[in-house]
Chains A and B, each alone.
Chain A
Amino acid sequence: MKTIHKILVVAVVIFTTGGMIVGCSSTKNAYTAATDVQDEFKIEKSGAQMWGEACNRCHLAPSPADYNDTDWSTIALHMRVRANLAENEIAKIETFLKSAN
């Protein structure tokens, strides 16, 4: 058991260090500098689509009308961490919920 524990501890340290380096290397979105041609062919999911996909993974998708914009900001931050959602995913979902409530 000691060996497994040591391996796991080393793996956690390596993963954390590596993640720190990758995560902190740039906070800019590399995809924002897309050219016109790239924009033309870029297919991105809408916030509504992501809302249907991400929320339904655990519970039924909430009605946008049930909360106001400020509440959705709080809920979005909570759910981003609780459900471990990607930043662009929760940002689009939040924008959709605020626009549709």
Chain B
Amino acid sequence: MIVGFGHITYGQTYNNFETDSVTAPEPFKPSKTQFMIRGYGHTGLNFMNTEGEKESSYVGSAFAPIFLFKHSDRLMFEAELEFGLENNELEVGLEYADVMYILNKNMTVRAGKFLLPFGTFMERLHPAWINRLPTRPLGFGHDGIAPASGIGVELRGAFDLGGPKLNYAVYSTNGPRLKDGSVEPEEAGMLMFQNFEDNNNSKAFGGRIGLLPFADSSTEIGFSSYSTSKVGTTDSEYENVGVFLYAIDFAFIKQIPAISGFIDIKGQYNNSDIDDATYTEVHEDGDEEEYTFDNKSNSFYAQLSYRPTMASSDFMKKLELVGRYSNLNTPEGAEWEERSDQYAFSLNYWLTWRSVIKVAYQTTDSVGGHDGGGTANGFFIHWAIGF
């Protein structure tokens, strides 16, 4: 003991903190070049009842990492991958991959595959942790009439008008290609927006103008259009089929003390007009029949949500009530003719600002469409997280 304490006590008597050369730590110097992974994922349980046919399934975890590479204060590369489990298979998709450069305070140029500013839902609101419901409105996604992304070049920016704000985007992309029915006869006349290698020399042009008329930025009204003079393959009989699409979107988000919380209203109307063309239907006996139809479609959704953020209870503050109506009308006379109305309701609980549990009910009434129409009811419990 004596030897031990003696050793400790006298062991370092030479150490003088006042005279020691202590190197001051250098302040942290972040580099201008930065790499970051963000993204989102979700999982859940679905119960479906389609015309009395019941099914339930845990739905696989969708994982969507977003890669951000900040090359400098003006230059950035961004990409999003999507991993999902569908039809017992792993599906991988490249949601977007583009390079962007800030030209000046009002202009940014983007090139590559980017989300199209056709309305606001697909560009801003579709990620699972942002979308207040576990499903998308009718008209978006698979077999939807609104484009989600495109390969091309875009110029965008925003102006502060001293209170009101104006934002714009104009772009040129490969544009969609027309399904002529040779592969999927039941989809003849539909547009396929995944046109990675252009099937003709005509490019699509489009844009969106958004106006936030009030100084509190609570309201935004947007108008989008998208057009191309050719969607058919070069030298095919459908080469000169043209397309004009437009969308009108609306948003109102504001905390209103009188109702002790946030009210969030969103809506979008999509309209698609494709030049008429003649398609061929092959009957079971081998006979061929030509047919045409007025190729016009439209869809609409309106969504209302309420969060009692000013409630006295912490539990209540994290709740959110959501209701959505959506509707889809596809051309009369087409093989994919459909009239659908959908109502969806959800009770959400926000664990954090980027993690939400959704308990939702949805009912869809359809006439026509892939499944032949009828009533489909669904109950969903989903958990989504952004990171």
Binding site for B on A (CB under 8 A): 1-2, 4-6, 8-9, 11-12, 15-16, 19-20, 22-24, 27, 29, 50, 53-54, 56-63, 69-71, 73-75, 77-78, 80-89
A5 and B158 contact, Cβ closer than 8 Å, known pairs A70-B34, A74-B70: no
In whole angstroms, what is the CA distance A62 to B130 when docked? Answer: 12
| A23 & B106 in contact (Cβ 8 Å cutoff) | yes
| A56 & B108 in contact (Cβ 8 Å cutoff) | no
A69 and B207 contact, Cβ closer than 8 Å, known pairs A27-B104, A59-B129, A86-B158: no
| B225 & A19 in contact (Cβ 8 Å cutoff) | no
| B34 & A1 in contact (Cβ 8 Å cutoff) | no
Contacts of A53 in B (CB 8 A): 216-218
Contact of B73 among A1, A11, A77 (CB under 8 A): A77
Q: Of B13-21, B162-170, B284-292, B322-330, which binds chain A? A: B162-170
In whole angstroms, what is the CA distance A6 to B110 when docked? Answer: 23
In whole angstroms, what is the CA distance A59 to B210 when docked? Answer: 18
Expressed in whole angstroms, the minimum distance between the Cβ of A50 and any Cβ of chain B is 8
Q: Is there a chain A Cβ closer than 8 Å to B156's Cβ?
A: yes
**B251: nearest chain-A partner, CB-CB:** A57
Interface footprint category on B: 35 or more
Q: Which of A16, A53, A59, A83 has the most chain B CB within a 10 Å cutoff? A: A59
| B125 & A5 in contact (Cβ 8 Å cutoff) | no
| A58 & B130 in contact (Cβ 8 Å cutoff) | yes
| A1 & B106 in contact (Cβ 8 Å cutoff) | no
Contacts of B78 in A (CB 8 A): 78
6 smallest beta-carbon distances between A and B, as pairs: A1-B242, A87-B105, A84-B167, A60-B353, A23-B106, A70-B30
Contact of B243 among A1, A24, A69, A85 (CB under 8 A): A1
A74 and B107 contact, Cβ closer than 8 Å, known pairs A1-B273, A84-B167: no
Contact of B124 among A19, A50, A83, A88 (CB under 8 A): A83
Q: Is there a chain A Cβ closer than 8 Å to B354's Cβ?
A: yes
Q: Is there a chain A Cβ closer than 8 Å to B386's Cβ?
A: yes
Contacts of B216 in A (CB 8 A): 53
| A24 & B104 in contact (Cβ 8 Å cutoff) | yes
| A12 & B253 in contact (Cβ 8 Å cutoff) | no
A1 and B253 contact, Cβ closer than 8 Å, known pairs A19-B155, A23-B107, A89-B160: no
Contacts of A16 in B (CB 8 A): 155, 170
A19 and B168 contact, Cβ closer than 8 Å, known pairs A4-B227, A60-B354, A77-B70: yes
Q: Is there a chain A Cβ closer than 8 Å to B196's Cβ?
A: no
| B353 & A19 in contact (Cβ 8 Å cutoff) | no
Contact of A87 among B68, B106, B125, B206 (CB under 8 A): B106
In whole angstroms, what is the CA distance A71 to B218 when docked? Answer: 27
Binding site for A on B (CB under 8 A): 30, 34, 36, 38, 68, 70, 73, 76, 78, 100, 102-108, 110, 117, 123-125, 129-130, 155-160, 165, 167-170, 172, 205-207, 210, 216-218, 220, 225, 227-229, 242-244, 251, 253, 262, 273, 275, 350, 352-354, 386
Contacts of B168 in A (CB 8 A): 15, 19, 84
| B30 & A69 in contact (Cβ 8 Å cutoff) | yes
| A23 & B104 in contact (Cβ 8 Å cutoff) | yes
In whole angstroms, what is the CA distance A1 to B296 when docked? Answer: 12
Expressed in whole angstroms, the minimum distance between the Cβ of B77 and any Cβ of chain A is 10
Contacts of A2 in B (CB 8 A): 229, 242
Expressed in whole angstroms, the minimum distance between the Cβ of A42 and any Cβ of chain B is 11
Contacts of B36 in A (CB 8 A): 71, 74-75
In whole angstroms, what is the CA distance A95 to B73 when docked? Answer: 15
| B130 & A74 in contact (Cβ 8 Å cutoff) | no
In whole angstroms, what is the CA distance A78 to B386 when docked? Answer: 15
In whole angstroms, what is the CA distance A74 to B102 when docked? Answer: 13
In whole angstroms, what is the CA distance A27 to B205 when docked? Answer: 28
Could you give 19 example pairs across A and B, Cβ below 8 Å?
A1-B244, A5-B227, A8-B244, A12-B170, A23-B105, A23-B157, A54-B217, A59-B130, A61-B353, A63-B352, A69-B30, A71-B34, A73-B30, A73-B73, A74-B68, A77-B102, A78-B68, A78-B76, A84-B167
| B70 & A84 in contact (Cβ 8 Å cutoff) | no
**A68: nearest chain-B partner, CB-CB:** B30
